[in-house]
Structure 1
Amino acid sequence: MKNNAVKYTVNLSFEEIKLPPFEEILVLGKHSPHGKQGISRSFDLLIPNGFEIIDTDHDNVDCVFVNKRILTKMPKEKILKILMSNVFPYVSEKEIIKVDFKVKISYNIVEED
């Protein structure tokens, strides 16, 4: 007679998370289940005064939460223009999209006599 013992196989992995679970930009769809006010209050508890809310007039996007560190490097109008052309077309009205937005600043200085 064969023994029908139960055998388990478990694949396990884990990693550290940071709160909030994004660092740079969050794009909020117009009909996201989490509204602008709710997310804003959550951020105020986690990282007080860490993000600026930028409202949009896009069909599917209500607003964008931008880390204030980025705003010290680049004007919000330029950030919004980049997002409008490269991210907003792919956002549905019920989504919340995390955007990794790394800014690198470089200068090319040519000196003349």
Structure 2
Amino acid sequence: MNAGKTYGIDISFEELKLPLSNDVLVLAKNAVQGKHGLGKSLDLLAPGVFQAVDTGAEAEHIEAVFINRKLLTKIPAERLIQVLQRHVFRHVGEGELIQVDVKVRISMYNINE
């Protein structure tokens, strides 16, 4: 060992989170994966977890949206697509695959038993 030299090793780690843990995947046109390829990959990696949802004619640069089915038990797909159109789609560039985390909070007031 050389005098005056020290070595240090820093390690950090966290749980690997594949796109499968995400709530929504937005696939732009001309992406490498393509709608059918990504759909098949998701079905192989996590069968039945994601559902492809139609984005409507207003999102011409978006090829596909895949939504976690657990999220669809809390909010209707149509409402979620409206939110994505208003706040996310305009930020998606050609060829990109964007993962979106969605937090849904449900509040109830004046509940009579």
TM-score (norm 1): 0.81
Q: Structure 2 vs 1, CA of residues 35 and 89 (structure 1 numbering), >3 Å: closer, same or farther?
A: same
Larger Rg: 1
Letter of the 1:52 partner, please give it: Q
Percent identity for Structure 1 against Structure 2: 42
- Contact kept in structure 2, 1:53 and 1:65, CA below 8 Å: yes
Q: Which runs of 5+ in 2 are unaligned?
A: none
SS in 1 for 2:25: strand
| Partner in structure 2 of residue 82 of structure 1 | 83
CA displacement, residues 63-86 of structure 1 (integer Å, 9 cap, x when unaligned)? 111000111111111000000000
Report the Cα distance in structure 1 between the residues aligned to 2:85 and 2:106, rounded to whole angstroms: 21
Q: Is the 8 A contact 1:60 1:93 kept in 2?
A: yes
Cα root mean square deviation, aligned? 2.3
Report how many aligned residue pairs link the two structures. 109
Tell me if structure 2 keeps the 8 A contact 1:22–1:98: no
**Distance in 2 (alpha carbons) for counterparts of 1:27 and 1:82:** 13
Q: What is the TM-score of this pair, normalised by structure 2?
A: 0.81
Instruction: Give the gaps of 5 or more residues in structure 1.
Output: none
